[in-house]
Amino acid sequence: MSVRTTLRDTLIAAATSGPRRPASIVDAAAALLRSPDAGAPRDERLRAVADWLALAQEIPGDGGVSWGYTFRRGWVASYPETTGYLVPTFLAVAEHLRDPAWRERAARAISFLLPLQLAAGGFPGRTVAQNRTAPSVFNTAQIMHGLLRWSDASTDDRARRAAHKAARWLVSVQDPDGAWRSHVHNGVATTYTAHASCWLADAGRLTDDPDLVAAAARHLDWVLAQQDPRSGWFDLAGFSASDHASRVSVTHTIAYVIWGVLHLGVELDRPDAVAAARQAATAIAALLARMGTIPGVLDHAWRPRASWTCATGDAQMSLVFLRLANMDGDDRFHRAAQAAIELAGKAQRTTAGPVAVRGGIPGSVPMTGAYLPFCYPNWAAKFYLDGLLALDGGLHGVAHPGAS
Quick check: 107 pLDDT over 60?
yes
39 pLDDT exceeds 80?
Answer: no
Specify whether the CB–CB gap between 196 and 239 falls below 8 A.
no
**176-180 CB contacts, 8 Å cutoff, 24+ apart:** 177/218, 177/222, 178/215, 178/217, 178/218, 178/219, 178/220, 178/221, 178/222, 178/223, 179/219, 179/222, 180/137, 180/219
Reported as half-sphere exposure (CB side, CA atoms, 13 A), residue 89 has a value of: 28
- What integer pLDDT is reported at residue 393 of this predicted model? 82
Q: Rounded to an integer, what distance in angstroms lies between the CA atom of residue 180 and that of residue 356?
A: 37
pLDDT tens digit string along 282-309? 999 999 999 999 999 999 999 999 999 9
Q: How many domains does the chain have?
A: 1
pLDDT at 29 over 60: no
Beta bridge partners of 298: 249, 304
> pLDDT digit string (tens) for 64-102?
999 999 999 999 999 999 999 999 999 999 999 999 999
- Dmax over Cα atoms in the chain, in whole Å? 66
pLDDT for residue 27: 55
Arithmetic mean of pLDDT, 298-325: 98
Mean pLDDT of 193-204: 97
Query: Residues 233-247, buried b or exposed e (16+ Cβ, 10 A)?
Result: bbbbbbbeeebbeeb
Q: What is the pTM of this model?
A: 0.91
Strands 68-70 and 297-299: unpaired
The string of DSSP letters for 21-74 reads SPPPHHHHHHHHHSPP-TT--HHHHHHHHHHHHHHHHHTTSSSS-BSEEETTTE
Residue 57 has pLDDT above 70, yes or no: yes
Between CA 309 and CA 317, with CA 313 as vertex, the angle to 5 degrees is 120
Instruction: Round to whole Å and give the CA distance between 358 and 351.
Output: 7
**Domain annotation covers residue 4:** no
Residue 298: domain span:
41-391
Q: Are residues 137 and 144 in contact, defined by beta-carbon separation less than 8 angstroms?
A: no
Residue 110: phi and psi, rounded to 5, are: -65, -45
Q: Mean pLDDT across the chain, nearest whole number?
A: 91
Residue 320 placed within a domain: yes
User: Which residue type, as a one-letter code, is found at position 211?
Assistant: D
Each residue of 339-364: pLDDT tens digit?
999 999 999 999 888 899 999 999 99
Q: What share of the chain is helix, strand, coil (3-state, %, to 5)?
A: 55, 5, 35
Query: Among the listed ranges 34-38, 59-63, 200-204, 395-399, which one has the minimum average pLDDT value?
Result: 395-399
Does a structural domain hold residue 6? no
pLDDT in tens, 133-145: 999 999 999 999 9
Decide: 332 and 261 in contact? Cβ < 8 Å.
no
Taking alpha carbons only, the member of 19, 31, 5 closest to residue 348 is: 31
Q: Bridge partners of 234? A: 227
Q: Find the helix or strand (DSSP H, E) in which 375 lies.
A: strand 375-377
Domain assignment of residue 398, yes or no: no
d(C-alpha 192, C-alpha 258), whole Å: 8
- CATH code of the domain in which 247 resides: 1.50.10.10
Asked if residue 28 belongs to a domain, the reply is: no
What pLDDT score does 352 carry? Answer: 80
Distance CA 35, CA 284 (A): 27
Q: What is the dihedral of CA 2, 7, 9, 12, to 10 degrees?
A: -160
Question: Sign of torsion, CA 271 272 277 281?
Answer: positive
Is residue 18 in a domain? no
Confidence band (pLDDT; 50, 70, 90) for 214?
Answer: very high
266 domain residue, yes or no: yes
Q: What is the pLDDT of residue 58?
A: 98
Helix axes 210-224, 194-207, angle to 10 degrees: 160
Q: Are residues 237 and 257 in contact, defined by beta-carbon separation less than 8 angstroms?
A: yes
Structure confidence at residue 155 (pLDDT): 85
Please report the pLDDT score of residue 38 as a whole number. 56
> Over 70: is that where the pLDDT of 12 sits?
no
Strands in 375-377's sheet, in edge-to-edge order, are: 74-75, 68-70, 375-377
With beta carbons less than 8 A apart as the criterion, state whether 194 and 219 touch: yes
Q: Is the pLDDT of residue 396 over 50?
A: no
Split at pLDDT 50, 70, 90, the class of 36 is low
Would you place residue 128 in the very low, low, confident or very high pLDDT band (cuts 50, 70, 90)?
A: very high
CA 401 to the chain's CA centroid:
16
> What was the pLDDT predicted at 200?
97
Alpha carbons 89 and 106: distance in angstroms, whole number: 9
pLDDT tops 90 at residue 35: no
Mean pLDDT calculated for residue range 181-205: 97
